[in-house]
């Protein structure tokens, strides 16, 4: 567990890659703003939900560049207790969490695998983007989390998703998917900030080999997507060993390229060198997002095209 006072020492190894490092450290002391995504599958008229929330004293402000997202004041308002939440009109989620699905660009009619899907913020965002007309397989290895995912699909009125319970590394389907999202289990460093102490899952002593798990998931995802299809790999950590080095591993094993992508939040290119190791130059097309620049959680996103 990391105390706030230990953060400067913990994040020191990133001081050359995190821009404006001192401001980053200061920003960790600020609590995370509260946002929600408006779910058009259940709530065709945004005004209906926004007026309902306003009656309960909630101020909402649209997020520029992210059409269905709203910032909420006060930031500690219990959105989960509202009728709007219960009816599936809103899904509380942070704005950087929207980025992997923006990279995925889901379309109606596509076969899409969400390999690490629970509790479903991105599955439900995929369904919404594809107007509930894609075929979505939402997978997770944990039954308790899959239960929450099923409840969220029901609450948000998603009819286009089925759920499966597999370790992603051995996901069995023989049908090639058009797109696969790997929102990988990770050390969660990007979520660290005041009020979230203890949320760092990263085991400095190396009890859990997250990069090994992440490499297994990404390679399997790549083999499940059709030639010309797309895999989006994302994490909420700054750690290059869980980000660029995982994608670098894939690029050396398979015929793939990283596609450039436009995002509505400020970002930086993926790194192409880490601790003396030269990485694939295409990693510059991946994107790094930092909390002090996005007012959100730190994220890494790579959009990968299968070439052969
Ligand atoms: C970052 S969370 C996913 C969040 C989810 N995509 C969302 O937007 O709500 C990572 C998920 O990966 C699942 N997971 C961990 N190891 C896995 C594995 N080997 N195969 C499939 N899922 C796994 C965890 O249970 C967890 O739900």
Residue 300 located in a structural domain: yes
Within 8 A by CB and 6+ apart from 139, the residues are 113, 114, 115, 116, 117, 163, 164, 165, 166, 168, 171
Residue 185 located in a structural domain: yes
Is the Cα torsion angle 21, 37, 236, 111 positive or negative in sign?
negative
Closest-CA residue, ligand 1 atom 18, reads 167
Residue 14 located in a structural domain: no
Residue 253 sits at φ, ψ, to 5 deg, of -100, -25
176 CA to centre of ligand 1 in angstroms: 21
Report the phi/psi class of residue 98: left, alpha or beta, with left for phi > 0 and alpha for psi in -120 to 50: alpha
236 given a catalytic annotation: yes
52 CA to centre of ligand 1 in angstroms: 33
Q: What angle is formed at CA 96 by the lines to CA 72 and CA 262, rounded to 5 degrees?
A: 125
Residue 271 located in a structural domain: yes
What's the pTM value of the predicted model, to 2 decimals? 0.96
**Shortest-distance atom of ligand 1 to CA 167:** 20
Number of domains within the chain: 1
Amino acid 7: pLDDT: 81
Burial 10-44 (b: 16+ CB within 10 A, else e): ebeebeebbeebeebbebbeeebebbbbbbbbbbe
Amino acid 207: pLDDT: 55
182 CA to centre of ligand 1 in angstroms: 8
Q: What distance in Å separates the CA atoms of residue 153 and residue 155, rounded to the nearest whole number? A: 6
Q: 3-class SS at 196?
A: coil
Give the number of other Cβ atoms within 10 Å of residue 172's Cβ. 8
Residue 167 located in a structural domain: yes
Q: Which helix (H) or strand (E) covers residue 82, if one does?
A: none
Q: Which of 184, 185, 215 to mutate to test the pocket of ligand 1 (most atoms within 8 A of CB)?
A: 185
Tens place of pLDDT for every residue, the chain, 308 residues? 677 778 888 899 999 999 999 999 999 988 889 999 999 999 988 899 999 999 999 999 999 999 999 999 999 999 999 999 999 999 999 999 999 999 999 999 999 999 999 999 999 999 999 999 999 999 999 999 999 999 999 999 999 999 999 999 999 977 899 999 999 999 999 988 876 544 444 444 455 799 999 999 999 999 999 999 999 999 999 999 999 999 999 999 999 999 999 999 999 999 999 999 999 999 999 999 999 999 999 999 999 999 99
Q: What distance in Å separates the CA atoms of residue 199 and residue 262, rounded to the nearest whole number? A: 30
Closest-CA residue, ligand 1 atom 2, reads 185
**Binding site per annotation, positions for S-adenosyl-L-methionine:** 116-122, 140, 183
ipTM of the complex: 1.00
- Which residues form ligand 1's pocket by a CB distance below 6 Å? 115-122, 140-142, 145, 167-169, 183, 185, 213, 217
223 CA to centre of ligand 1 in angstroms: 19
**Shortest-distance atom of ligand 1 to CA 118:** 27
Residue 79 located in a structural domain: no
Which domain range does residue 194 map to?
Answer: 95-306
The CATH number that applies at residue 256 is 3.40.50.150
Residue 19 located in a structural domain: no
């Amino acid at each position: 567990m990391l105390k706030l006072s230990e953060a400067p020492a913990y994040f020191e190894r990133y001081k050359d890659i995190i821009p404006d490092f001192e401001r980053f450290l200061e920003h960790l002391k600020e609590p995370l703003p509260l946002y929600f995504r408006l779910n058009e599958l259940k709530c065709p008229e945004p005004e209906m939900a926004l007026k309902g929330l306003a009656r309960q004293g909630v101020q909402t402000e649209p997020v520029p560049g992210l059409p269905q997202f709203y910032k909420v004041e006060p930031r500690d308002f219990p959105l989960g207790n509202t009728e709007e939440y219960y009816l599936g009109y809103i899904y509380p989620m942070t704005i950087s969490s929207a980025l992997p699905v923006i990279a995925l660009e889901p379309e109606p009619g596509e076969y899409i695998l969400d390999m690490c899907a629970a509790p479903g913020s991105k599955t439900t965002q995929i369904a919404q983007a594809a107007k509930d007309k894609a075929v979505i397989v939402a997978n997770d290895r944990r039954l308790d989390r899959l239960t929450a995912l099923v409840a969220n699909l029901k609450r948000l009125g998603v009819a286009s998703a089925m759920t499966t319970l597999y370790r992603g590394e051995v996901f069995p389907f023989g049908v090639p998917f058009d797109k696969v999202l790997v929102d990988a289990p990770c050390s969660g460093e990007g979520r660290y900030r005041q009020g979230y102490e203890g949320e760092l899952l990263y085991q400095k002593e190396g009890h859990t080999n997250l990069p090994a798990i992440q490499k297994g998931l990404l390679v399997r995802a790549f083999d499940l997507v059709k030639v010309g299809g797309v895999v989006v790999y994302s994490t909420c950590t700054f750690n290059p060993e869980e980000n660029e080095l995982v994608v670098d591993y894939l690029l050396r094993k398979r015929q793939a390229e990283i596609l450039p992508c436009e995002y509505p939040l400020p970002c930086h290119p993926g790194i192409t060198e880490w601790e003396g190791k030269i990485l694939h130059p295409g990693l510059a097309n991946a994107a790094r997002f930092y909390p002090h620049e996005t007012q959100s959680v730190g994220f890494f996103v790579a959009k990968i095209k299968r070439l052969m």
